[in-house]
């Protein structure tokens, strides 16, 4: 019987479960361990532990909190191979891709090391006779992060370093499908000197997440996952009057203008659409070719490359690995079938690669002549499927993208500065690339989509991360020798 991953509470492994969920190695289909579903006492223990740790941690000078993060960064770099293997084993992505996710996570840690600079606040001297006023960022208290399966290290690191650098204590509820990276992060934080209770990991599924969201001691909820759940989590947390940010699904378009370098655009699409088997929220899943000659050239070049994709388990360093689960593979296969039924041209059929079982492998697929009424266009497929949509003008392409329900990322490949500028200004997406296929911002900028890709006003990390994990307190203070005044019952005004 494969073992259960422990929870992590008060800097120690903890047990306590009402049941468990299997964790598979997607490359073999084998169950390798289980994720415990935390019982009520375990969730209570984690919240209590985070609550107890809060005052002490919030009162440590911000620069000392940063020192823990500096040490954590060094430790994560030291253990990055083990972390990459852990991610690849449970997720199925290639080792180099797993290593890339660790790098992007480390960038957020580096950003968080400098957070004292962003906690400086604002100061107004002498707003009245002998009166000064300042606004300071104060931490919220116990905050919760709920994260998806596809970035088991990076997405928790979008939240944890920023939240704790700001003085909060944190409870992470990672994906039940890829639970182990969270525990590795927690171990390394302990080794870096993080006091007990500041970071806790509670495993489980939807019920575990909802118990955490509902608890009155939890001040804020940061969520990343599918839109259906993001919307529910945002509504649930907001109904309790809590601060929430909930990042959801995506359908990212890449426009190829007639003046673009077709080879470069195709190479960019290959990595962006098929890297991580398409299981990225910033994956390019729709290519919008402007003009039929551009579309014909893209279709031919992409089909050739897709047929040559090397698909295998992570340890052989392929282009892409398997999908996360059998049920997800079935969902992607169903969507491919719907594309055929609804009249799109299936130029490369990834279903033919199913013979590679055991494991949840699926080959790359390419559809041409995709139209907005089709399910493969409307829904996030989250698999190795690229859809080619033909448009005749840039205006029409922008209108198409802006009509889509999701607005995470969008890119344009062009040699024209004018087209690039028009696209950047008019497209309704949170992250825009010009000759860049996956425009994931650096950690000192914010990450987040528009429309149904994000619920809540604040994006992840960057200045928004600090805004999300702190609230302002404005202090007005008088220190001058003034004769005693009789009480005034009027609205205070500056004299
Ligand atoms: P998911 O929505 O199924 O699960 C995400 C997390 O929510 C998990 O921890 C899960 O246990 C929990 N959860 C599931 N149902 C819940 C419920 N009813 N109430 C509360 N919590 C619940 O997502 P997933 O399949 O793990 O991840 C893939 C999705 O995440 C894709 O849609 C992808 O686009 C999205 N994603 C978005 C971003 C982004 O930045 N916008 C980044 C990564 C992934």
Name the segment(s) of the chain with CATH classification 3.40.309.10. Answer: 252-434
- Best residue among 20, 144, 148, 182 to mutate for probing ligand 1's pocket (most ligand atoms within 8 Å of CB) is 148
* Residue whose CA is at the smallest distance from ligand 1 atom 13: 206
* Residue whose CA is at the smallest distance from ligand 1 atom 38: 281
CATH architecture of 7-248+453-475: 3-Layer(aba) Sandwich (3.40)
Indicate whether residue 333 lines ligand 1 (CB < 6 A): no
* Residue whose CA is at the smallest distance from ligand 1 atom 15: 206
* Residue whose CA is at the smallest distance from ligand 1 atom 14: 206
pLDDT per residue as tens digits for the range 75-99 = 999 999 999 999 999 999 999 999 9
Indicate whether residue 453 lines ligand 1 (CB < 6 A): yes
Indicate whether residue 233 lines ligand 1 (CB < 6 A): yes
Q: How confident is the model at residue 493 (pLDDT cuts 50, 70, 90)?
A: confident
Q: What average pLDDT does range 390-400 have in this prediction?
A: 98
Phi, psi of 295, deg, nearest 5: -65, -45
Indicate whether residue 205 lines ligand 1 (CB < 6 A): yes
Name the segment(s) of the chain with CATH classification 3.40.605.10. Answer: 7-248+453-475
Distance 228 CA to ligand 1 centre (A): 8
Measured from the Cα of 460, ligand 1's closest atom is 40
Contact between 347 and 304 (Cβ < 8 Å)? no
Does pLDDT of 279 surpass 80?
A: yes
pLDDT per residue as tens digits for the range 358-385 = 899 999 999 999 999 999 999 999 999 9
What does the pLDDT read at residue 485? 77
Indicate whether residue 279 lines ligand 1 (CB < 6 A): no
* Residue whose CA is at the smallest distance from ligand 1 atom 35: 225
Catalytic residue among 153, 166, 281, 446: 281
Show the 3-state SS of the chain: CCCECCEEECCEEECCEEEEEEEEECCCCEEEEEEEEECHHHHHHHHHHHHHHHHHHHHCCHHHHHHHHHHHHHHHHHCHHHHHHHHHHHHCCCHHHHHHHHHHHHHHHHHHHCHHHHHCCEEEEEEECCEEEEEEEEECCEEEEECCCCCCCHHHHHHHHHHHHCCCEEEEECCCCCCHHHHHHHHHHHHCCCCCCCEEECCCCHHHHHHHHHCCCEEEEEEECCHHHHHHHHHHHHHCCCEEEEECCCCEEEEECCCCCHHHHHHHHHHHHHHHHHCCCCCEEEEEEECHHHHHHHHHHHHHHHHCCCECCHHHCCCECCCCCHHHHHHHHHHHHHHHHCCCEEEECHHHHHHHCCCCCCCCEEEECCCCCCHHHHCCCCCCEEEEEEECCHHHHHHHHHHCCEECEEEEECCCHHHHHHHHHHCCCCEEEECCCCCCCCCCCCECCEECCEECCCCECHHHHHHHCEEEEEEEEECCCCCCCCCCCCCCCCC
Question: Topology of 252-434 in CATH?
Answer: Aldehyde Dehydrogenase; Chain A, domain 2 (3.40.309)
Respond yes or no: is residue 281 known to be catalytic.
Answer: yes
Q: What average pLDDT does range 122-139 have in this prediction?
A: 95
Q: How confident is the model at residue 482 (pLDDT cuts 50, 70, 90)?
A: low
Indicate whether residue 169 lines ligand 1 (CB < 6 A): no
Q: What average pLDDT does range 13-23 have in this prediction?
A: 97
Indicate whether residue 210 lines ligand 1 (CB < 6 A): yes
């Amino acid at each position: 019987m494969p073992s259960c991953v422990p929870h992590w509470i008060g800097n120690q492994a903890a047990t306590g479960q009402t049941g468990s969920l299997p964790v598979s190695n997607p490359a073999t289909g084998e169950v390798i361990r289980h994720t415990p579903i935390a019982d009520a006492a375990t969730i209570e223990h984690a919240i209590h532990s985070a609550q107890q740790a809060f005052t002490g941690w919030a009162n440590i000078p911000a620069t000392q909190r940063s020192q823990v993060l500096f040490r954590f960064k060094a430790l994560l770099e030291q253990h990055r191979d083990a972390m990459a293997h852990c991610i690849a084993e449970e997720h199925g992505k290639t080792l180099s891709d797993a290593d890339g996710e660790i790098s992007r996570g480390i960038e957020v840690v580096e950003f968080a090391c400098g957070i004292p600079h962003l906690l400086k606040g604002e100061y107004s001297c002498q707003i009245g006779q002998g009166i000064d006023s300042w606004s300071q960022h104060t931490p919220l208290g116990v905050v919760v992060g709920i994260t998806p399966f596809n970035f088991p290290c990076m997405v928790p690191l979008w939240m944890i370093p920023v939240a704790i650098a700001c003085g909060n204590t944190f409870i992470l509820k990672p994906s039940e499908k890829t639970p182990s990276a969270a525990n590795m992060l927690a171990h390394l934080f302990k080794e870096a000197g993080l006091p007990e209770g500041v970071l806790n990991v509670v495993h489980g599924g939807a019920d575990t997440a909802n118990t955490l969201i509902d608890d009155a001691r939890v001040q804020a909820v940061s969520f990343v996952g599918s839109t259906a759940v993001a919307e529910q989590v945002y509504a649930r947390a907001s109904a309790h009057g809590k601060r929430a940010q909930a990042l959801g699904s995506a359908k990212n378009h890449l426009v190829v203008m007639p003046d673009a370098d077709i080879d470069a655009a195709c190479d960019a699409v290959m990595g962006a659409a098929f890297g991580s088997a398409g299981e990225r929220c910033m994956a390019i899943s729709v290519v919008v070719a402007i003009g039929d000659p551009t579309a014909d050239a893209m279709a031919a070049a992409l089909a050739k490359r897709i047929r040559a994709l090397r698909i295998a388990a992570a340890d052989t360093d392929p282009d892409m690995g398997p999908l996360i689960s059998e049920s997800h593979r079935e969902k992607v296969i169903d969507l491919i079938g719907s594309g055929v039924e609804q009249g799109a041209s299936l130029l490369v059929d990834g279903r033919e690669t199913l013979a590679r079982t055991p494991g949840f492998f699926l080959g790359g697929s390419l559809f041409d002549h995709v139209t907005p009424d089709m399910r493969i266009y409307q829904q996030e497929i989250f698999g190795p499927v690229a859809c080619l949509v033909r448009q005749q003008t840039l205006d029409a392409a922008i209108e198409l993208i802006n009509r889509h329900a999701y607005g995470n990322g969008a890119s344009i490949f062009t040699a024209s500065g004018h087209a690039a500028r028009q696209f950047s200004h008019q497209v309704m997406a949170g992250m825009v690339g010009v000759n860049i296929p996956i425009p994931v911002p650096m950690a000192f900028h914010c990450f987040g989509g528009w429309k149904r890709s994000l619920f809540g006003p604040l994006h992840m990390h960057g200045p928004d991360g600090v805004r999300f994990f702190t609230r302002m307190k404005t202090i007005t203070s008088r220190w001058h020798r003034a004769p005693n005044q009789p009480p005034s019952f009027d609205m205070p005004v500056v004299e």
